[in-house]
Amino acid sequence: MDHLIATGVDGLIPNGSTGDFHLLTLEERQKVAESVIARAAGRVPVIVGATCLSTAEVIRVSLHAQERGAAGVMVAPAFYLPMSRAEILAHFQSVARAIKIPLVVYNNPLCTGQHVSAEMIAVLEKSVGVRYVKESSGVFDNFQQILVSTGQRVKVFMGEEALSLEALLMGAAGLIMGLANAIPDRFVEMLKAVQRGDIAQARLLHYQTLPLYYLANEGATHNYNSVIKSVIKLRRGKGVTSSRAPSLPLTDPQEGKLAELLDRIGLGQGG
């Protein structure tokens, strides 16, 4: 965590998808949130992931985060069974009304099976004052439609690495990336390049990073989060290499392929 802050990230989000929230008990998630908030010590805002299977659980986790000093909570739709538009809206509205800190709506239909459309975001903005979205659908037009349908009043953070540069150029408030846990320096450099108008450098960094994104998303052969953990270990010489079961660590050949790729794109140990 200290390494991430020192690298220049603008915030931390414990208990998100990359944080394996789905493999933790509610009590463990609360301990993680408390630890991160305490360690951050106000250096950067902490947005706590609060996605759960029921609205009541989301509110419970969100209120705990609020009491411990979180700057906000990030919530995806409840998942497992398909929900109607009315149910998704009611879920977010109930959470927003129960807390006093900002709610970040997390759209990740690949993982939840539920899509939060731009039209739904506009309804949430008007009904309960939602002002923040993490957009991870992988559909760039959904990102643009959110900005258009809300008059750019809602700040949208891109969560899909392959669309990160395009999103920054088209008005994203920032990036919330799984790979940023492992290569924060690369995303910070790209963001700074965009901010100073050096689009050529930003493009170079983006295309250098894409091979790692493609490898991490070869989902038929390995777990995305296990790739991130292995990258951290290979770059920093420490860390765990897998999540809890049923997740598995990379095999030795897979990790060897990953190490070669990191060296090739300038992200090996010390890079």
Residue carrying structure tokens 């603008």: 10
Active site residue 134: yes
DSSP designation for 35:
H
Q: Please give the Cα distance from 30 to 68 (Å, whole number).
A: 9
Other residues' Cβ atoms within 10 Å of the Cβ of residue 108: 23
Active site residue 233: no
Give the helix ranges, DSSP H, for 68-132.
85-98, 109-112, 118-128
| Catalytic residue, candidates 31, 80, 132, 134 | 134
> Using omega within 30 degrees of 0 as the cis cutoff, is the peptide bond preceding 246 cis?
yes
Helix (H/G/I), strand (E/B), else coil: 151: coil
Task: Fill in the amino acid letter for 198.
Answer: D
Q: Please give the Cα distance from 130 to 155 (Å, whole number).
A: 9
Q: Please give the Cα distance from 225 to 242 (Å, whole number).
A: 7
| Catalytic residue, candidates 31, 100, 106, 207 | 106
Q: Please give the Cα distance from 216 to 228 (Å, whole number).
A: 8
Residues carrying an active site annotation: 106, 134
